[in-house]
């Protein structure tokens, strides 16, 4: 039994989930890994057989996705070449975490593709939705990585095909404490803008993890350092709270650690607005940006002791087993 596990490489969330999912798949079958995308900072602890450019969303510096750079980073010719050359016919089963190359290869060659992603959970009809309708964002989410059947992850298990988040073992094993600082991960803001906004709260020690700077530095009450997985999760584990975008894995890990959480969804990123709607329904505060008009909301959060209680058991192997037991009989006929 040969499985191709294809994972989106934009950002770090998909790859951090792969760290737990792939070993569970390897318990049951021979597994090759495909990664497409150019925006991740994590190194996977197992071999990656196929690395492709794919279609990556490029983070901007003013709080959103840079749509122009996203478009310019990918050419139609290269995308078509990658879709046409990925050897999906060599595999019995394709499992896809919102990865477009293998998904479209399956779609165009009439091969089953099993979606196992957060995006599937967020787009499910029973998951919370934002008030504002984003028809373009919805279209992209539905067509970016088409799958034959979808299973999803979300902050809550809204139905039998949606599972609670995969919290990687590395995070589950951390010693959690409160050393008073606040951890910040807002990759769609540049360092200058973050410094300007965060220094308006001079009594708070901020630890900022940046995608835009390779050299650590400090300015008054703000410490800026490049993204590094070990340092980042250690900072979260010892923080008083976490300020981040409305992604999936970082908020889920913060909730698992019982940290205060404040999220800012990226502009031009429909998935983050879906996440923000779900988090807000759970009681997590959400603001639109870091502008001064939101200072009162930030102060309220900083002064609050409120945390949201979640139950995220370690059931990744059970999820993988359920998926394989459902689909392997169909493959083997």
The H-or-E segment that residue 327 falls in is helix 316-332
More confident residue, 140 or 88: 88
Token couple for 312: 């995220």
What architecture is domain 169-303? 3-Layer(aba) Sandwich (3.40)
State how far the Cα of 324 lies from the Cα of 97, in Å rounded to an integer.
15
| Cα(266)–Cα(132) distance, integer angstroms | 14
Measured between alpha carbons, how far is 207 from 224 in angstroms, rounded to an integer? 6
**C-alpha span between 256 and 272 (Å, rounded):** 19
In degrees and rounded to multiples of 5, residue 313 shows phi and psi of -70, 160
- Strand partners of residue 64: 267
pTM of the model: 0.89
pLDDT digits (tens, 9 = 90+) for 231-259: 999 999 999 999 999 999 999 999 999 99
Examine domains 2-165+313-332 and 169-303 and report if their fold is the same.
yes
What value does the mean pLDDT take over residues 223-238?
94
Domain boundaries, the chain: 2-165+313-332, 169-303
H helices of the chain, in order, are 13-26, 67-72, 76-85, 100-108, 118-123, 135-143, 169-172, 191-198, 229-237, 249-256, 270-282, 295-303, 316-332
Structure confidence at residue 140 as a pLDDT band (50, 70, 90): confident
pLDDT above 70 for 70:
no
Q: Do 198 and 208 touch, CB atoms closer than 8 A?
A: yes
Over range 151-173, report the average pLDDT: 95
53 vs 196: which has the higher pLDDT = 196
CATH number corresponding to 2-165+313-332? 3.40.50
Three-class DSSP labels, 212-233: CCCCCEEECCEEEEECCHHHHH
At residue 189, does pLDDT exceed 80? Answer: yes
The tokens describing 117, both together, are 């992603």
Task: Give the residue carrying structure tokens 């809550």.
Answer: 156
Give 255-295 pLDDT, tens digit per residue.
Answer: 999 999 999 999 888 999 999 999 999 999 999 999 999 99
Tokens representing 279 are 């988090």
C-alpha torsion 315→320→326→328, nearest 10:
-160
């Amino acid at each position: 039994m040969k499985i191709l596990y294809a994972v989106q490489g934009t950002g770090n969330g998909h790859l951090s989930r792969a760290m737990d999912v792939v070993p569970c798949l390897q318990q049951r079958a021979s597994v090759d890994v495909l990664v497409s995308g150019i925006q991740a900072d994590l190194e996977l602890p197992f071999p990656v057989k196929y690395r492709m450019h794919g279609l990556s969303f490029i983070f901007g510096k003013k709080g959103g996705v840079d749509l122009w750079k996203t478009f310019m980073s990918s050419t139609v010719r290269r995308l078509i070449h990658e879709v046409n050359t990925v050897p999906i016919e060599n595999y019995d089963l394709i499992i896809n975490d919102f990865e477009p190359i293998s998904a479209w290869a399956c779609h165009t060659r009439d091969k089953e593709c099993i979606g196992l992603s957060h995006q599937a959970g967020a787009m499910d009809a029973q998951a919370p939705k934002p008030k504002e309708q984003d028809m373009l964002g919805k279209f992209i989410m539905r067509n970016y990585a088409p799958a034959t059947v979808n299973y999803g992850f979300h902050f809550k298990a809204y139905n039998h095909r949606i599972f609670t988040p995969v919290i990687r073992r590395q995070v589950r094993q951390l010693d959690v404490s409160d050393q008073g600082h606040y951890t910040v991960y807002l990759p769609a803001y540049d360092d200058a803008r973050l410094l300007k906004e965060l220094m308006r709260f001079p009594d708070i020690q901020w630890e900022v993890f940046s995608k835009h700077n390779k050299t650590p530095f400090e300015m008054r009450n703000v410490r800026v350092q490049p993204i590094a997985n070990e340092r980042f999760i250690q900072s979260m584990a010892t923080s008083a709270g976490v300020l981040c975008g409305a992604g999936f894995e970082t908020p889920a890990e913060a909730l698992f650690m019982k940290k205060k959480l404040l999220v800012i969804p990226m502009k031009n990123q429909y998935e983050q607005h879906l996440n923000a709607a779900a988090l807000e329904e759970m009681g997590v505060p959400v603001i639109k940006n870091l502008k001064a008009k939101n200072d009162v909301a930030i102060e309220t959060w900083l002064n609050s002791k409120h945390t949201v209680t979640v139950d995220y058991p370690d059931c990744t192997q059970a999820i993988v087993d359920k998926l394989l037991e459902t689909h392997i009989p169909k493959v083997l006929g």
